[in-house]
Structure formats: structure tokens, C-alpha cells
Structure 1
């Protein structure tokens, strides 16, 4: 399989993984607005925060390869881009499976008690790790011929297909979060929030809505503006839209991280700090690092 095909496959696999992560990620946000959430134990509420952080890490790891590919590699199909996608996808599975176990623990602890909650959470985590890591390593083939870097430029058609795939990798998290954000505004728990966090939530909702629209725009522009034809100008526009969409997406996610932490801790300072840390971490990992890496590489070539 050539480099272009392997990279496309790696992106499709990230898309598949993030579809599973988005459901759990949405649960972490929506759960705190449910009427019975205040009835769960303080320990479970704090553990819920841990699950939120873990799933945030998983989602950020799954989105990052798309941005690295567009920013660092300028949309070119490179062996290094495949290696990054493989490494980050593999790393995302650990926080994803532990986050699954924590979500199950919170639900079953409330329904059936601590013992059942711990048991179900642990079993699901172990099964997840066994299937996602254990099976893969057990079937791993050694002695494969290493991929050869090609000197020719990636065909424009391939670059456009990969860019559109990357938009599809990123958009599920935004779609799920946007739906939960809209539903949350109609709950009794939302009305009980202080005005500050209502405004933060609404700002985050608008930011995620903008991110989703930006991620849908390349498909619309390609079809309406370029009649589905491959065009280098469209690739530049689409790539910039995909990259730009991650800024409001990071703002929206961080806003609701702050809201969730406030609902579970009751502390404004803790909540705002958690949101700020999430925002800096996401923008740093998704944008600042790949931009710095690209600039450093350009200086080394010069």
C-alpha cells in the first residue's frame, strides 16, 4: 500500500475512533445538567471530572493528526504524517478506555452502589484495553518492509480527499457537543447556574456552532463554488477553514469544561482555572506546536 493510501486509512481510523469517543465526551458534559446528578456522591462527581479530562485528552489526540498534516506537512502525504497519526491514535485509546470505565462507574455507582459501580467500571476498562491494545499487539506482524518516502508531490486529488476526510474527523466532536449544549439550556439545572457561567456556556455554544459551520463549509464550497472539481485554490481555502475551525472548537470545549467543573466543585476559581488550562492546552497542542514545528523545519532547510 502506498503512502497516500496508508495516510487516508489512518485518518479514517481516527474518524472511527472519535465517533466512539464523542458519545462519552458528550455524556460528561450533559450529565451535570441532569436532575439527579446532584444526588450522586461527592466522590463520584469528582471522578466524573477525571473522566471528562481523560476523554478531552483522547479527543484532542484524535484531532491532532489532521492539524499536524495540514500545518506541518502542508497536506503532503509523508511517512512522518502516518507515524504521527499512528502514535497519537494509539495513545488516545488509554484515556478513552479509562474514561469509558469511569463513565460506567458513575452510572452504576448511582444505580446499584459502590461495589457494582467499581466492578462494572473495572470490567469495561479491562475489556477495552484487552481488545484495543492487547488484540492489536498480539496480532502485530514484525519484519514488515518499511515505507519508502516518495519524492514526488502528492496529487491534488489525494490532498483534497484527505483534507475533506480530516474535516470529517474533527466535526463529530463538535456536532455532539453542540447538541448537548443546546439541550442543556432547556434544563432546570441550567437556570440555576450563576449568570457568569450561563454566559460562558452560551459563548461556548456559539463558538462550537461556528466551528461546525466552518467544518461544513469546505464541502459546500467544493460543490457550489468549484462544481466538485479538483482545484489548488479550493485546497488552500478548505485547509485554512479546517485549521481555523479548531480555534472556536477549543473555545467551546473549554467553556463547557469550566461549567462542568463549577457544577461539580461549586468553586468559581477552580472552574475558570480548569477552563483556561483546557483552552491553552488545546490551542497549544493543535496549533502552536505544529506551527512552531513548521517554522523550525523551514529554518533548518534555509
Structure 2
């Protein structure tokens, strides 16, 4: 398999994971505005807040490879990005499984009339089952198979391949498709939220924060869809280096309003769960630090570090040559 095809396959796997993650993220946001949410006991509300944080982390980890590929690797197909996509996807499954279990515990406890032990057992059982399927099965299988493939991947982690233009365009569009579901899920929640009775009872600051978050996520969705529209309208569906640069830039830029939108509605939801503005501020601040850190600061730091290292190597070669 060509190297760019391996990167594309890894991105497709992340896309599969995020399609599942968006369902739980949408539930976390929507649940707090359901009529029966206020009747939940305090521990269930705390669990809902924890699940929201875990799902935001999951989404952040699943989207991070796309940002890293665009910023740090400049869209090139490298062994490093291939391995990184797999590692971040594997890391994202842990908070995903934990949030899955917390949501199941809340739902089961409520269905059984407040039986906390049954809810806890259902949540723990589902988390254990998810971890067994996502990690345990792989750990067992790797003892007997896949050693050659893993060794080959590690040996080629510093490899760089010049992918054909069509492959690079396809990777860029796939990265947009990885990010878009999370933005769509949040946008759907935001639009439906304003029609609930609970929204009318929110403090003015929460309604204002939601309005700002709604605008940010709508902007992210527009930016993510724009490359496909430009590809058809401007370039008639043909690949070009100019389209690759424009599309990649728009896809990366969309992450900024998406992060702000997630942070804004994290404030709204956390403040409602805890009935305290300070909880909302803490949730929004954490989201505004973690997501841009994963999507922008880390890739930019990696890119700068490599540029400095490359410059030092060139200087060393010149000194050695002289």
C-alpha cells in the first residue's frame, strides 16, 4: 500500500470513531435541557458534567491529527503522522468508554426508579465491555500476530513520501469530513436548545454565551463546507495546488471558531448543571485551553522545533564542509 493511502486509511478510521463520539456529545449537551433533568439527583448531575468533559476530550483527541497534519506536517504523508493518528485514536477511546459508562449509569438509574446500584453496575459493565473490545482484544491479538507490521511502521516513522496531488486533495477533504460531524452535532443541539422551556429560564449571560457559541459553530460549519463548494464552482472538480492550499487553510481555520463554540456552550451547560456561574467559567476556560492547545499550539510548537532542528543540521553540514 502506498504511504499516502496508509495515511488516508488512518484518517478514515478516525472519521469512523468521531461519528460515534458525536452522538454522545450531542446527548451531553441536549440532556441538560430536557424536562426531567432537573429531577435527577446531585450525583447524576455530577456524572453528566464528567461525561461532558470526557466527550470534549475525546473529540479534541480525534480531531487533533487533522490539525497536526495540516500545521506540523504541512499536509505531507509521513510515517510520523501515520503513527500519531493511531496513537491519538487509541487514546481517545479511553475517555470515550468512560463517558459511555457514565451515560449508561445515568439512564439505567433513571429507568429503574433511582436504583443507584443497578445504574452503577450497568455503567461499569458497559465501560468494561468497551475497554475489553477496544483495548483488551487488541492486546491479546498482538501477542500472536501483527509483529511484522508494527515493526515496519516503527522503522518507517521518519519516512516522507511525496504523494500525488489527487491523494493530497483527498486527504484534505477527508480531514474536513473528520471535523464536520462534531460541528454539525453541536450546531443541531444549539438550534434545538433555544426552543426548549429550560432555555427561557437561563440567565441573560448564559443566553448571550449561547448566542456567541451558536455563531462560532455556524461559522465553523460554513468554513468546513466551503472547500467542497469551491472545488466544484471554481475548479470544476479538478485538483490543483491552489485548491489544496485554500482548502487546507479553511479546514484549519474552522477549528478556531469550533473551539470557541464548544467552550461557549460548555459554560452554558456546566453553569446549568451546577447552578453556579463559577462552574461554567471553569468549564469554558478548560475547554478554551485544551482544545486550542491540541489543535494549534502543539502542532505549531512541533513545526517550529523541526524548523530549528533542520536549520541546525544545515549549519553543522556547512561547518563540516568548510
**Are 1:293 and 2:308 an aligned pair?**
no
Select which of 155, 162, 187 maps to 2:164: 155
Q: Give 1 or 2 for the bigger CA radius of gyration.
A: 2
Task: Provide TM-score, normalisation by structure 2.
Answer: 0.91
- 2:320 corresponds in structure 1 to none
Q: Which moved more, 1:146-155 or 1:157-166?
A: 146-155
Q: Which residue of 2 aligns with 1:122?
A: 124
- Using the TM superposition, name which of 86-95 and 136-145 deviates more: 136-145
How many angstroms apart in 2 are the aligned matches of 1:128 and 1:182?
Answer: 32
Structure 2 equivalent of residue 221 of structure 1: 230
Question: What is the deviation of 1:49?
Answer: 0.7
Q: How does 1:132-171 map to 2 (within 5 A)?
A: 132-140=134-142, 141-144=146-149, 146-147=152-153, 148=156, 150=159, 152-171=161-180
Q: Report the 3-state secondary structure (helix = DSSP H, G, I; strand = E; otherwise coil) of the residue aligned with 1:226.
A: coil
Does the 8 A contact of 2:78 with 2:161 survive in 1?
Answer: no
Structure 2: give runs of 5+ residues left out of the alignment.
Answer: 312-322
Q: Is the 8 A contact 2:223 2:254 kept in 1?
A: yes
Aligned length: 302
CA shift, 1:296, in A, is 1.7
Q: Find the counterpart in structure 2 of residue 41 from structure 1.
A: 41
Q: Answer yes or no: is 1:195 the counterpart of 2:195.
A: no
State whether structure 2 residue 239 is matched by structure 1 residue 230: yes
Secondary structure at the residue paired with 2:148?
coil
Residue of structure 1 in register with 2:250 after alignment: 241
Q: Is the 8 A contact 2:79 2:160 kept in 1?
A: no
2:94 is the counterpart of 1:89: no
For residue 119 of structure 1, give the secondary structure of its aligned residue in structure 2: helix
Tell me, in whole angstroms, the C-alpha distance in 2 between the residues paired with 1:150 and 1:44: 49
Moved over 6 A (4+): none
Correspondence 1:172 to 2:216: no
How far the C-alpha of 1:200 sits from its partner, in A, is 0.3
SS at structure 1 position matched to 2:76: coil
Provide Cα deviations, 1:60-81, integer angstroms capped at 9, x if missing partner. Answer: 1000000101111111000000
Secondary structure at the counterpart of residue 193 of structure 1: coil
SS in 2 for 1:227: coil
**TM-score in terms of structure 1 length:** 0.97
Pair 154,102 (structure 1): closer, same or farther in 2 beyond 3 Å: same
Distance 1:162 1:192, change over 3 A: same
Per the alignment, residue 292 of structure 2 pairs with: 283
Structure 2 distance, partners of 1:195, 1:63, is: 32
